[in-house]
């Protein structure tokens, strides 16, 4: 079983836990005290990942860093359908890779605003929120055009790792003081992802009560 | 002119969905029941003040996310999960506003005896534009019809004042408009937003 070095409040770590859950792949999850312990910068963790970033996945053969890379590894090795990373369709593959890059822009804007508001990271919060608005508008436009074309997901008629890579920091925007009211297409897409069989939650992203049994 | 304020395109809020909106400075929870009815309620649970827009739709009822109190179509509380045997008193009731779907949009606050015109349209999308309503209306031009709609290409544009500095541009097209044309209209709306927001800050 692969070992995930994880921080419960990290959207990037959640991407890995979410895809693993959707693929029904068990992970050995090891909690890293990112805040307030700063354990990701301690010698023991830097010996594992000199960059000091989370998540880290130890597969038994290698040590993988960067959430998008880990999503790619999980899809390539653990998804017999090939749907989460469609390598045999070049145009779809290119779209997926484009969204993996876009996901880092969400992390750098929405994710930073969230670290400011939740963990008191010192940064220019106005700049982070202004950047977040531009990135979320681009996501909204893309999803609105997908809806117009009758599609619910970013890169294919079904969910791919593109959706998993972009989902957490879009859904967590309110944690950074960024309301999602202006983004109705993002709202529908968040609902579609939360509706997936095997979906799991994280703090700030809850389950769909409407599909649960009435208490 | 009518008093109906657009809050969404007819397709912008899926069945079983709930969202927040603002009409004349009032915060509302807009929700779409499983059977297709639309509702506009004060966005506040009478129990602990939780925003009902964080809640969830179950059939023809809206439930609060906090303690699961359920409210029926008339806003009256129907169930309190912590007291399953209690019939909630009629005084526990969410204030409601008139809300209807007509002509490709969802409207709030007008006279139900005089609904907006039933012209078949397909919702395109809604964009938040960070200029006051009068500024956006001036940039759009055109003459508003009886419901306040103005043409945007072959689409109809309905404007909602979200607050003093933000306007929501709701767009709907004739039903048989091609996907290509609808995407072109979406991009034209993006261009209009860029232009009017740049004009505003210049």
For B186-197, the pLDDT digits (tens) are 999 999 999 999
CA B163 to chain centre: 14
pLDDT computed for residue B24 by the predictor: 85
Domain extents in chain B: 11-97, 119-201
Structural tokens at position A100: 């993996």
- Alpha-helix residue ranges (DSSP H) falling in chain A: 11-22, 43-48, 67-78, 90-106, 112-119, 125-148, 161-171, 184-194
Partner residue facing A184 (CB), from B63, B126, B162: B126
pLDDT computed for residue B22 by the predictor: 97
pLDDT computed for residue A209 by the predictor: 81
pLDDT computed for residue B62 by the predictor: 97
pLDDT computed for residue B202 by the predictor: 85
Structural tokens at position B92: 């526990």
CA distances from B19 to A181, B6, B64, B195 (A): 8, 14, 13, 28
CB contact under 8 A, B65 and A209: yes
Measure the N-to-C terminal CA separation of chain B; round to a whole number of Å. 33
From the list A69, A79, A67, the residue with the least C-alpha distance to A24 is A79
pLDDT computed for residue B118 by the predictor: 95
Backbone angles phi, psi at B33, to 5 degrees: -75, 165
Q: Does domain B11-97 have CATH number 1.10.10.10?
A: no
For B132-162, the pLDDT digits (tens) are 999 999 999 999 999 999 999 999 999 999 9
Q: How far apart are CA B113 and CA B96, in angstroms?
A: 17
pLDDT computed for residue B120 by the predictor: 97
CA B66 to chain centre: 23
- For residue B2, pLDDT beyond 60: no
- Whether omega for the bond prior to residue B133 falls within 30 degrees of 0, making it cis, is no
pLDDT computed for residue A213 by the predictor: 63
Output the average pLDDT for chain B: 96
Q: Kindly report the pTM of this predicted structure.
A: 0.96
pLDDT computed for residue B1 by the predictor: 42
Can you state the percent helix, strand and coil of chain A, rounding each to 5? 55, 5, 40
Partner residue facing A149 (CB), from B20, B21, B179: B179
Please give the radius of gyration of chain B, using alpha carbons only, rounded to the nearest integer.
18
- For residue B201, pLDDT beyond 80: yes
**Per-residue confidence at B81, pLDDT binned at 50, 70, 90?**
very high
Taking chain A (215 residues) in runs of 10, the rounded mean pLDDT of each run is 97 98 98 95 96 97 98 98 96 98 98 97 97 98 98 98 98 98 98 97 91 62
Residues of B near A (Cβ–Cβ under 8 Å) read: 8, 12-14, 16-17, 19-21, 56-58, 63, 65, 68, 81, 124-128, 162, 179, 182-183, 186, 190
The helix/strand count (H/E) of chain B reads as 2, 15
- Alpha-helix residue ranges (DSSP H) falling in chain B: 133-140, 179-201
């Amino acid at each position: 079983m692969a070992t995930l070095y994880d921080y419960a409040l990290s959207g990037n770590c959640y991407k890995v836990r979410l895809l693993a859950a959707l693929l029904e792949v068990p992970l050995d999850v090891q909690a890293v005290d990112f805040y307030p312990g700063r354990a990701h910068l301690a010698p023991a963790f830097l010996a594992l990942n000199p960059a000091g970033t989370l998540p880290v996945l130890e597969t038994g053969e290698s040590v993988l860093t960067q959430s998008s890379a880990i999503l790619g590894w999980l899809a390539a090795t653990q998804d017999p359908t090939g749907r989460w990373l469609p390598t045999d369709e070049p145009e779809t593959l290119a779209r997926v890779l484009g969204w993996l890059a876009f996901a880092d822009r969400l992390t750098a804007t929405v994710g930073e605003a969230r670290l400011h508001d939740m963990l008191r990271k010192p940064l220019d919060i106005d700049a982070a929120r202004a950047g977040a608005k531009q990135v979320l508008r681009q996501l909204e436009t893309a999803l609105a055009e997908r809806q117009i074309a009758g599609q619910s997901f970013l890169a294919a008629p079904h969910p791919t790792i593109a959706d998993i890579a972009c989902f957490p920091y879009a859904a967590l925007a309110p944690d950074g003081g960024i309301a999602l009211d202006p983004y109705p297409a993002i709202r529908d897409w968040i609902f579609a992802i939360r509706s997936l069989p095997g979906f799991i939650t994280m703090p700030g992203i809850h389950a769909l009560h409407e599909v649960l049994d009435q208490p | 002119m009518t008093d109906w304020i657009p809050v969404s395109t007819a397709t912008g809020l899926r069945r079983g969905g709930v969202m927040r909106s603002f009409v004349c400075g009032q915060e509302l929870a807009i929700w779409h029941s499983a059977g297709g009815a639309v509702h506009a309620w004060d966005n506040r649970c009478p129990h602990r003040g939780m925003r009902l827009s964080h809640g969830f739709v179950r059939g023809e009822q809206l439930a609060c996310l906090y303690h699961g109190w359920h409210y029926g179509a008339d806003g009256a509380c129907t169930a309190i999960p912590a007291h399953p045997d209690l019939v909630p008193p009629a005084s526990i009731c969410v204030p409601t506003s008139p809300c209807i779907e007509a002509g490709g949009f969802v409207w709030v606050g007008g006279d139900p005896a005089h609904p907006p015109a039933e012209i078949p349209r397909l919702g395109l999308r809604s964009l938040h534009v960070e200029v006051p309503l009068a500024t956006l209306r001036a940039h759009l031009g055109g003459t508003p019809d009886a419901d306040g709609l103005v043409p945007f290409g072959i689409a109809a544009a309905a404007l909602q004042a979200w607050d003093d500095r933000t306007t929501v541009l709701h767009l709907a097209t004739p039903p048989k408009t091609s996907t290509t044309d609808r995407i072109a209209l979406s991009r034209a709306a993006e261009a209009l937003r860029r232009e009017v927001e740049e004009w505003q800050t210049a």
